Amino acid sequence: MSVPRETIAAVATAQGRGGVGIVRISGPLASAAAKAISGRELKPRYAHYGPFLSEDAEVLDEGIALYFPGPNSFTGEDVLELQGHGGPIVLDMLLKRCLELGCRLARPGEFSERAFLNDKLDLAQAEAIADLIEASSAQAARNALRSLQGAFSQRVHNLTEQLIGLRIYVEAAIDFPEEEIDFLADGHVLSMLDKVRDELSTVLREAGQGALLRDGMNVVIAGRPNAGKSSLLNALAGREAAIVTEIAGTTRDILREHIHIDGMPLHVVDTAGLRDTDDQVEKIGVERALKAIGEADRVLLVVDATAPEALDPFALWPEFLETRPDPAKVTLIRNKADLTGEAIALEVSDDGHVTISLSAKSAGEGLELLREHLK
């Protein structure tokens, strides 16, 4: 519910210099500030070009002023936007003028807070604003915009309405047990419950996917020394991000590379080769590798297809079995297919494990299979 409150003001554009900068005001003084700064009455929801004036009628800047009377505004209150030049000195002068007129400097996020308190946004939409600003890919931006437009909130509202309907049936059966009609016997309620459960599972799955789009997926490349882990990282990154040599144990620490695959941000981590070693530095690298495996969203377990352990790759390192996440999050990469002659392919076993045969040194079909799999 809208209540009288202080008028707030802030620079609404990012810090730095630019062609356009915006100062926004929200609250009961916005109308008076519009007249004082522009020197005239502003027609609501129309763009007015002209000077922005100081208390002494000195021109501070020239630009566009827009006045939005509440409740038909972003915050639900009277809102004034001053769109001037984007220099920090000019914006500071405009903001100082607003404060002289009785406005208070807004706290971070206070405009969105007022929009929420005035029922212009719900919590999901408020979070979507931050997600849209922080989006690291076009797909993440599209997802955030859909949430901002209310798509996610509407789905949650629909689920809530269905659950309320189910509760009515259950409460009727409890409150009126003597009635001849058994509200729970005809299977209708169970069918409704199954439908809600399926829809809720879909929402949870899509929300998880949205979180990955927003924050990025942590992909850890693990395996024995010289299995081709660093070569695979370089192939995914499209550049020589990691040093590749024939010497086992070249990678001794965590190496991170940030890439995008069709809008999906990936944080790819190359790790030290998993083996017993007396080298203290390499041993620390192995410990960090196991820790990274435990925190990963996806593990690419790389095995040398020419080596004996390729026959039983999950047994190549006992601690890996204890540290690795859900087996469904582990993808087995049979590397060096160019040496074995095996076909480039993606296979899914009966228990759901995915195996991809490829050559990390030969960018082509195998790498594309992996990219599609990671999306």
- Count of domains observed in the chain: 3
The string over 121-132, giving b where at least 16 C-beta atoms fall within 10 Å of a residue's C-beta and e elsewhere, is: bbebbbbbbebb
pLDDT of 324 strictly over 80:
no
What one-character DSSP code corresponds to residue 344? P
Q: Is residue 2 part of a domain?
A: no
Residues 49 and 12 in one domain: yes
pLDDT tier for residue 356 given thresholds of 50, 70 and 90: confident
Residues 196 and 315 in one domain: no
Residues 42 and 31 in one domain: yes
pLDDT tier for residue 72 given thresholds of 50, 70 and 90: very high
Region of residue 208 (phi > 0: left; psi between -120 and 50: alpha; otherwise: beta): alpha
Q: Is residue 127 part of a domain?
A: no
Q: What is the pLDDT of residues 202-246, one digit of tens each?
A: 888 777 666 666 777 888 888 888 888 888 888 887 756 554 445
Rounded to the nearest integer, the mean pLDDT of the chain is 81
Which 3 state secondary structure label does DSSP give 221? strand
Residues 152 and 273 in one domain: no
Q: What is the pLDDT of residue 363?
A: 63
Residues 198 and 223 in one domain: no
Residues 297 and 363 in one domain: yes
Helix axes 151-175, 188-215, angle to 10 degrees: 150
Of 156, 154, 152, 190, the C-alpha closest to 170 is: 190
Q: Is residue 209 part of a domain?
A: yes
Q: Is residue 131 part of a domain?
A: no
Q: What is the pLDDT of residues 81-132, one digit of tens each?
A: 999 999 999 999 999 999 999 999 999 989 999 998 898 888 888 888 877 7
Q: Is residue 158 part of a domain?
A: yes
Locate 118 and state its tokens.
């005035």
- Taking the CA atoms of residue 15, residue 17, residue 18 and residue 21 in that order, the dihedral angle to the nearest 10 degrees is 50
The CATH number of residue 12's host domain is 3.30.1360.120
Number of neighbouring beta carbons within 10 Å of residue 264: 19
The CATH number of residue 234's host domain is 3.40.50.300
Among 185, 214, 243, the domain boundary falls at: 214
CB of 96 within 8 A of CB of 128? no
Q: What is the pLDDT of residue 328?
A: 64
Residues 189 and 307 in one domain: no
What's the rounded Cα separation, in Å, for the pair 250 and 100?
Answer: 63
> DSSP of 355-374, one letter per residue?
EEE--TTS-SHHHHHHHHHH
Residues 90 and 169 in one domain: no
Among 71, 91, 119, the domain boundary falls at: 119
Is the model more confident about 264 or about 234? Answer: 234
Locate 255 and state its tokens.
């190496």
Residues 15 and 114 in one domain: yes
Residues 347 and 247 in one domain: yes
What's the rounded Cα separation, in Å, for the pair 333 and 61?
Answer: 61
Residues 57 and 94 in one domain: yes
Among 214, 237, 261, the domain boundary falls at: 214
Q: What is the pLDDT of residue 306?
A: 82
Locate 355 and state its tokens.
């195996």
Q: What are the backbone dihedrals phi and psi of residue 93, each rounded to the nearest 5 degrees, phi first?
A: -65, -40
Region of residue 49 (phi > 0: left; psi between -120 and 50: alpha; otherwise: beta): beta
Q: What is the pLDDT of residue 340?
A: 80
Give residues with Cβ within 8 angstroms of 364, minimum separation 6.
344
Q: Is residue 241 part of a domain?
A: yes
Structural domain of 97: 8-119
Q: Is residue 221 part of a domain?
A: yes
Q: What is the pLDDT of residue 67?
A: 97
Q: Is residue 125 part of a domain?
A: no
Which 3 state secondary structure label does DSSP give 137? coil
CB of 240 within 8 A of CB of 281? no
CB of 309 within 8 A of CB of 227? no
Is the model more confident about 27 or about 326? Answer: 27
Q: What is the pLDDT of residues 288-321, one digit of tens each?
A: 877 888 788 888 888 888 876 666 666 555 555 5
Residues 208 and 221 in one domain: no
What percent of the chain lies above the pLDDT cut of 90? 26
